[in-house]
């Protein structure tokens, strides 16, 4: 008996096997393609986000140049470039040794409120070309008035309360005839230590027995209060003469103040490096924070205190649930030999304490404190006991400032102030750096630039 084998069944099994293998292979290939595309997408997203961090670093570079290199627009590698009969200033900043991560920064509109363009260039995923993102930052000038007045060193929305031993004058860190090595020199003092209150109420500027080498400005309905028997307001010769006790020199009070104080725009801090407290010893001093060039944010819920060393152009953001509580002996050491600077953006809804906290470089342009709108209703307390109890710029239009000098001797506070209201007590001398009141990098109209808009734009508009 012969047994016949069915070749048809064997062929069916083989076809089924090949079909199954094909389907599985197709599925695996599709999965691998999906994974590859997802990996590319993730890599691209990371580089896309990194580009914004690089662009913002360029913005910070521009602000450092504007605020620190006053009167020297081509310092530190910046180049003048004439476009449409207007002079812009440009710089390339590299962030990697191979030149693959960098930004191109331009400061335009320097004769009014500066506009900053920062174009970031970063590698595309898997070295497939480059990615580019550009941000544009427009600014508003602070510390200037629009009612015929000049820039002022102390500008408030409300009251200015001066104690009986307060002296305010000015110097110019960019002019050797008005300063020594860029710092205040009493022998070269100037009478531009002016102050202004935007209050519409009468008597909101309380002089007591203070000495004001400069002008006072109020609104049309505002005014200053009673003048103490030892108070003097006017130019250097007038205030230096005790025969003028209890008087205000003619022409040194004006009631035509007409200005605004814009809020600070919060920076895009979400991708910034978290600054955490530690112990780093440099030159025999232990620092809780060491900041190089870059953007940092304080950890959520943390308290900024202790000693800080700044070795580059740093920006530090304090979250709303953070705190600033400097104590006795604390210092913000800003290494001026490295051209370092610190911009601090505070969003905290608690009071700020800066007891004995000084910018030990003595150059106020190297430290700027910004109070964000979330600080409304809080106060900043400054006390000190060093050669420069405080050297810096304070721009906090929603915060109160309480400045306390020592019970004997005199404390020096150097810089410029814009706040909700201002109160001082103790023995205090305040010196306004006139260069802070000018729009920097060649801008003659006065005022310091602060951000009033931030947007990403097409690189073609840069």
Q: Would residue 40 count as lying in a domain?
A: no
What pLDDT score does 460 carry? 61
| Other C-beta atoms lying within 10 Å of the C-beta of residue 328 | 9
- The reply to whether 136 and 158 lie within a common domain is no
Average the pLDDT over 60-78 and give the result. 75
Tell me which of 72-81, 179-188, 247-256 is least confident: 72-81
Q: Would residue 17 count as lying in a domain?
A: no
What pLDDT score does 147 carry? 40
- The reply to whether 134 and 187 lie within a common domain is no
What whole-number distance in Å separates Cα of residue 168 and Cα of residue 425?
13
Q: Would residue 293 count as lying in a domain?
A: yes
Structure tokens, 268 = 């895009």
* Chain Cα centroid distance, residue 44: 30
pLDDT tens digits, 220-276: 999 999 899 999 999 999 999 999 999 999 999 988 887 778 888 888 788 889 998
What pLDDT score does 384 carry? 66
- The reply to whether 138 and 170 lie within a common domain is no
What whole-number distance in Å separates Cα of residue 32 and Cα of residue 343?
47
Tell me which of 139-143, 287-291, 372-376, 390-394 is least confident: 139-143
Q: Would residue 116 count as lying in a domain?
A: yes
Average the pLDDT over 208-221 and give the result. 92
Tell me which of 153-167, 337-351, 382-396 is least confident: 382-396
- The reply to whether 320 and 434 lie within a common domain is yes
Q: Is the pLDDT of residue 441 over 50?
A: no
Q: Would residue 27 count as lying in a domain?
A: no
Structure tokens, 218 = 């109020």
Minimal CA–CA distance to 317: which of 302, 307, 338?
302
pLDDT tens digits, 321-347: 999 999 887 888 888 777 788 999 999
- The reply to whether 114 and 207 lie within a common domain is no
- The reply to whether 138 and 249 lie within a common domain is no
The number of folded domains in the chain is 2
- The reply to whether 158 and 137 lie within a common domain is no
Average the pLDDT over 409-431 and give the result. 85
Q: Is the pLDDT of residue 414 over 80?
A: yes
Mean pLDDT of the chain: 82
* Chain Cα centroid distance, residue 255: 31
Q: Would residue 218 count as lying in a domain?
A: yes
- The reply to whether 196 and 120 lie within a common domain is no
pTM for this predicted structure: 0.70
- The reply to whether 83 and 182 lie within a common domain is no
pLDDT tens digits, 265-315: 888 788 889 998 888 998 888 999 999 988 999 999 999 999 999 998 899
Q: Would residue 5 count as lying in a domain?
A: no
- The reply to whether 182 and 118 lie within a common domain is no
Average the pLDDT over 177-197 and give the result. 92
State which residues form the domain around 50: 45-143+453-461
| Other C-beta atoms lying within 10 Å of the C-beta of residue 123 | 18
Q: Would residue 389 count as lying in a domain?
A: yes
- The reply to whether 128 and 220 lie within a common domain is no
The beta strand positions in 192-320, using DSSP E, are 195-197, 205-206, 211-213, 216-217, 232-234, 247-248, 253-254, 273-275, 280-282, 285-287, 289-291, 294-298, 303-304, 308-310, 313-318
- The reply to whether 172 and 135 lie within a common domain is no
């Amino acid at each position: 008996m012969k047994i016949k084998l069915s070749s048809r069944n064997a062929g069916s099994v083989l076809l089924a096997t090949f079909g199954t293998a094909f389907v599985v292979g197709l599925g695996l290939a599709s999965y691998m393609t999906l994974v590859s595309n997802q990996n590319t997408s993730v890599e691209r997203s990371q580089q896309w986000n990194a580009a914004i961090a690089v662009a913002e670093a360029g913005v910070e570079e521009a602000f450092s140049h504007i605020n620190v290199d006053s009167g020297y627009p081509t310092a530190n590698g910046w180049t003048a470039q004439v476009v449409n009969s207007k002079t812009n200033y440009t710089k390339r900043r590299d962030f990697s040794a191979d030149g693959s991560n960098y930004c191109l920064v331009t400061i335009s509109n320097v004769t009014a409120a500066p506009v900053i363009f920062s174009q970031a260039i970063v590698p595309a995923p898997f070295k497939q070309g480059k990615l580019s993102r550009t941000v544009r930052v427009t600014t508003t000038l602070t510390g200037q008035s629009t009612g015929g007045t000049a820039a002022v060193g102390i500008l408030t929305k409300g009251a200015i309360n001066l104690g009986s031993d307060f002296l305010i004058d000015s110097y110019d860190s960019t002019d050797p005839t008005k300063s020594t090595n860029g710092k205040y020199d009493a022998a070269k003092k100037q009478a531009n230590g002016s102050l202004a209150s935007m209050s519409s109420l009468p008597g909101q500027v309380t002089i007591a027995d203070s000495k004001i080498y400069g002008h006072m400005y109020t609104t049309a309905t505002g005014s200053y209060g009673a003048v103490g028997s030892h108070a003097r307001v006017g130019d250097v010769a007038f205030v230096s003469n005790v025969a003028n006790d209890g008087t205000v020199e003619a022409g040194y009070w004006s009631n035509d103040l007409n200005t605004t104080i814009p809020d600070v725009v919060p920076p895009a801090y979400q991708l910034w490096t978290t600054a955490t407290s530690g112990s780093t010893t440099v030159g025999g001093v232990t620092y809780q924070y060491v900041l190089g060039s870059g953007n940092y944010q304080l950890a959520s819920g943390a308290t900024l205190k202790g000693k800080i060393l700044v070795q580059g152009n740093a920006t530090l953001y304090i979250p709303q649930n953070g705190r600033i509580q400097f104590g006795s002996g604390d210092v913000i050491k800003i290494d001026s030999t490295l051209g370092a600077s610190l911009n601090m953006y505070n969003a905290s809804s608690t009071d700020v304490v800066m007891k004995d906290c000084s910018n030990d470089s003595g150059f106020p342009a190297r430290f700027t404190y910004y109070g964000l709108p979330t600080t409304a209703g809080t106060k900043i307390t400054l006390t000190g006991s060093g050669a420069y109890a405080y050297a810096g710029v304070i721009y906090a239009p929603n915060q109160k400032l309480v400045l306390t000098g020592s019970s004997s001797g005199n404390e020096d506070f150097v810089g410029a102030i814009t706040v909700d209201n201002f109160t001082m007590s103790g023995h205090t001398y305040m010196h306004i750096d006139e260069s802070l009141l000018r729009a920097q990098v060649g801008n003659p109209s006065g005022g310091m630039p602060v951000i009033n808009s931030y947007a990403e734009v097409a690189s073609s508009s840069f």
